[in-house]
Amino acid sequence: PPRVLTPPNPQALATSKPVLVDFYADWCENCKVMAPRMAALEKQYASKVQFVTLNGADKENEKWVSAFKVSAVWSDQELI
């Protein structure tokens, strides 16, 4: 599974590589489906892209959710 950083480790964000931040929630079924896909992408592109995974439902990550303007999560093709 991808690394979960709460809050993101400064070294993960201070890199010359592009950073992909994946927000998820434990209750999100689509996030569970995407997790193995994201892990495969991380393995494939680790030398080119820095991957960071954050639990968007965790109160400690509210500032990151706000900073990245995460406004919703999809569940069964519905915006919640």
pLDDT in tens, the chain (80 residues): 455 555 556 666 677 888 888 888 888 888 889 999 999 999 999 999 988 888 888 888 888 888 888 876 554 555 44
CA distance 14 to 12: 6
CA distance 30 to 73: 9
Count the neighbouring beta carbons within 10 Å of the beta carbon of residue 10: 8
Q: Report the predicted TM-score, pTM, of the whole model to 2 decimal places.
A: 0.70
The residue annotated as part of the active site, out of 28, 42, 56, 61, is: 28
User: Known catalytic residue: 34?
Assistant: no
CA distance 56 to 72: 10
The residue annotated as part of the active site, out of 2, 5, 24, 31, is: 31
CA distance 58 to 41: 24
User: Known catalytic residue: 31?
Assistant: yes
Please name the residues in contact with 38: beta carbons below 8 A apart, sequence gap of 6 or more. Answer: 2, 22, 51, 53
